[in-house]
Amino acid sequence: MEARRASRTVSDPKVRHVGFFTPDPNPHPGRTPLASDAPVSNSLSPVMILPPRQPSDRTAAVPVPETGLRRQTGADQVPVGSYNPSESLLSSSPLPSSPSSRVGLVDGEFSEESGGWLRRSESGNYASSLPDTMVERAPENSASAAPRLESKKSVEVTGKGGKAVVEEQNEVQSSSKPLKAKTTKAERRALQEAQRAAKASGKAEGNKSAAVSQGAAPVKPVKQPAQKKDGPPVSVSVVSFDKKGGDRPPEKERKKDVPAPRMQFDDKSRVQKAKKHAVVKQTEARNRVELFRHLPQYEHGTQLPDLESKFFQLDPVHPAIYKVGLQYLAGDISGGNARCIAMLQAFKEAIEDYSTPQEKTLARDLTAKISSYVSFFIECRPLSISMGNAIRFLKTRISDLPLTLSESEAKAALCSDIEHFINEKIILADKVIVRHAVTKIRDGDVLLTYGSSCVVEMILLYAHEMGKQFRVVVVDSRPKLEGQALLRRLVAKGLSCAYSHINALSYIMHEVTKVFLGAASVLSNGTVYSRVGTASVAMVANAFHVPVLICCEAYKFHERVQLDSICSNELGDPDAIAKVPGRTDVNYLNNWANKENLQLLNLMYDATPADYISMIVTDYGMIPPTSVPVIVREYRRDHVFL
């Protein structure tokens, strides 16, 4: 956690703020140019021990950024690199490659110009504060792109170099080495992708005027933009998986070791580009919390009327898709399973109405279509991991269709596949989970649940039907108060319930015997990704030695690893936490949303570490959190191919 934060501050050279109390997105206009001005930035940082740079170099390599958003151009990288050694000196924790390699990746990937790479390597050299050697080294860097053997060595060097004071020549070189080492496979790949993307977007730009009116854009240009446009990781991995499913083994292998790039919403140029393709016009909220800038946050409530008015102009989007998308946007459908089922059913309708255009193959064209639908969904609300898995499943099914199948047969096959997925992976899986979980409920138990999970509700109701004697504590939290609906349903069925807010958790926990929680996803390291607040519930339960049972269908498992709730999350409407409905006297934050020095953070999910979890109940039985990767490994094929 600290490491992450430190690295964030490292990557942001201009303003050093700790935690999420952070600068306003549009800082004083004077500051940004100053930051890229080396001597001034020198004076800003008390710890920096860098010789001043030659102004000529700087101006050549650094177009001064105008916006307040960080690292949207290569120019922003300059101070990043230069701060790196001193920063690690400051924090005395050598964190060699993470911050700037990440930055570099983002940058290299999305810069329009093909020279982006070169520029970055230059900026890397800035860090070494040896402007004269830059000219020699830059080409070398870009040409050799850091041979792997060397990278290993230089990482070791970094460990030392990070601690040492960067004053002497060789020291400086050692500190520049890690930057070179950062040109890893991932980066080279990113470079390639960036170049390809640039080419493709150039092409797309070229025939954009033609393509705008056209519903389904031609396959080739669509594919590249789709990858760039897709925001959250899921969809991107979908695309990459799709490629994996293809018949190009080398491509497949290369894809494997590169984590799918994820849209960073603090990367302004990219956001801009994504917006061009967007159907939903989202206006971004203004004061975003620093730590979470990479996540999309939009003003709520503005898009819906806009979209509704557009209803008849949008051919590319099937009405069923459109409807579901609007429901996501309005929040009418929520909950992992409900969203996933709605999406799959919309896809099914769309597939039923689909007909392959002339000169196209169903497999390719339909995949592109689905991708465009998916990006529409993403614009409405970021996908959940379960939805990503379902999309991945569907795409594999499409690409695996035998070519001999006629169109109607293929469509029928796909529809039945979707039905199967819904039935087996969601509905039946829930039943199996209920069967398993009920065996853990004994007479006299006091079960605690948090928020509203449909599986947990089914478990409680089933156990009640079986005549088990137990009490339920529903813990809830603002702003969603989902637990109230659950509570109502449980009480109506005659269960004896108690209701409390999460503030009273530690008080109520001592009488609880088991905690049942739902999950949006379970990640490979056993981390449970779930409604925000789950982590605190699990932590308190663990402190009280109360077993925590996570109930989650196996189709929600994901092979990704996540250590915190920052790098991937969803931001809710900040107004929701600022306003208290029905309390006119609590109006202190009215119209304060645009205050420069106020940032509201309404996180949707959090990550519960595996240590707090006693058991995960899934359709494959009851497993410890350490066994999630086993399920993912053994049943990945099973998930994808049913």
List contacts with another protein (CB under 8 A): 440, 442, 514, 547, 549, 614-615, 620-624, 626-627, 630-631, 634
User: Which residue's CB is nearer to another protein, number 223 or number 514?
Assistant: 514
β-strand partners of 298? 284
Nearer to another protein, 123 or 527 (CB): 527
Residue 619 Cβ vs another protein, minimum distance, rounded to whole Å: 10
Give whichever of 440 and 531 is closer to another protein, judged by the CB atom. 440
Closest by CA position to 388, among listed 563, 558, 608, 630: 558
Per-residue burial over 135-160, b if 16 or more Cβ lie within 10 Å, else e, is eebbeebbeebbeeeebeebbebbee
**Beta carbon of residue 271, minimum distance to another protein (angstroms, whole number):** 41
- What whole-number distance in Å separates Cα of residue 104 and Cα of residue 182? 8
Amino acid at 363: A
Q: Which is nearer to another protein, 49 or 428 (CB)?
A: 428
- Centre a 10 Å sphere on the Cβ of residue 310 and count the other Cβ atoms it contains: 14
Residue length, the chain? Answer: 642
Query: Smallest gap, in angstroms, from Cβ of residue 312 to another protein?
Result: 50
Closest CA to 8 of 619, 566, 621: 566
CB of 446 to another protein, least distance (A): 14
Omega before residue 479 within 30° of 0, cis: yes
User: Cα 25 from chain centroid?
Assistant: 21
Nearer to another protein, 300 or 440 (CB): 440
Q: Cβ 149 to another protein, closest distance in Å? A: 33
Least distance between another protein and beta carbon 61 (Å): 50
From the list 436, 448, 433, the residue with the least C-alpha distance to 487 is 448
CB of 448 to another protein, least distance (A): 14
Residue 509 to residue 538: CA distance in whole angstroms: 10
Q: How far is the CB of 496 from another protein (least distance, A)?
A: 22
In the complex with another protein, the residue whose CB is nearer, 535 or 615, is 615
Question: Among residues 359 and 443, whose Cβ is nearest to another protein?
Answer: 443
In angstroms, how far is the first alpha carbon of the chain from the final one? 38
Task: Collapse the DSSP code of 398 into the 3-class scheme (helix H, G, I; strand E, B; otherwise coil) and give the result.
Answer: helix
Closer to another protein at the Cβ: 269 or 627? Answer: 627
Nearer to another protein, 139 or 624 (CB): 624
CB of 626 to another protein, least distance (A): 4
Asked if residue 76 lies in contact with residue 70, where contact means CB atoms within 8 angstroms, the answer is: yes
What is the 8-class DSSP label of residue 612? G
Whole-angstrom Cα distance, residue 192 to residue 109? 8
User: Which is closer to another protein, CB of 324 or CB of 456?
Assistant: 456
Burial class (CB in 10 A: 0-12, 13-18, 19+), 290: buried
Half-sphere exposure of 614 (CA within 13 A, CB side): 17
**In the complex, least distance from residue 637 CB atom to another protein, rounded to whole angstroms:** 13
Q: Shortest gap between Cβ of 633 and another protein (angstroms)?
A: 9
Q: For 326, what's the count of Cα atoms within 13 Å in the CB-facing half-sphere? A: 14
Smallest distance, Å, CB 552 to another protein?
Answer: 15
Which C-beta is closer to another protein: that of 300 or that of 556? 556
Q: Which CB, 579 or 636, lies closer to another protein?
A: 636
Distance CA 627, CA 642 (A): 21
- Edge-to-edge strand ranges of the sheet holding 605-608: 557-558, 521-523, 528-531, 605-608
- Nearer to another protein by Cβ, of 407 and 611: the residue is 611
Considering the complex, what minimum distance in angstroms separates the CB of residue 447 from another protein? 12
Q: What is the DSSP string of 300-366?
A: TTSHHHHHHHTTTT--SS-HHHHHHHHHHHHTSS-SHHHHHHHHHHHHHHHHHT--PPTT--HHHHH
Question: How near is the Cβ of 277 to another protein at its closest, in Å?
Answer: 43
Q: Which of 118, 88, 89, 90 is nearest to 104 (CA)?
A: 118
Among candidate residues 37, 230, 49, 53, the one with its CA nearest the CA of residue 133: 53
The candidate with the shortest Cα–Cα distance to 499, out of 510, 514, 488, is: 488
For another protein, give the closer residue by CB, 344 or 538.
538
